[in-house]
Amino acid sequence: MDQQLIPMTHDKDLHSTTLGKTIPAGDRNGMYR
């Protein structure tokens, strides 16, 4: 079994209350398998 992690991106800016900043559109904001 081969597992791959694929970065998730969004086409709109995301505001993170945890980080206290805005993540620009196109930047990685998570991973999924």
How many Cα atoms are found within 13 Å in the side-chain-facing hemisphere of 16? 12
- The reported pTM is 0.58
CA distance 30 to 16: 12
Concatenated DSSP letters of 1-33: -----EEE--SS-EEETTTTEEEPTTS--EEE-
Degrees, nearest 5: CA angle 4-5-10: 140
| Each residue's pLDDT expressed in tens, for the chain with a length of 33 residues | 788 889 999 999 999 999 899 999 999 888 887
Domain ranges within the chain, ordered by starting residue: 1-33
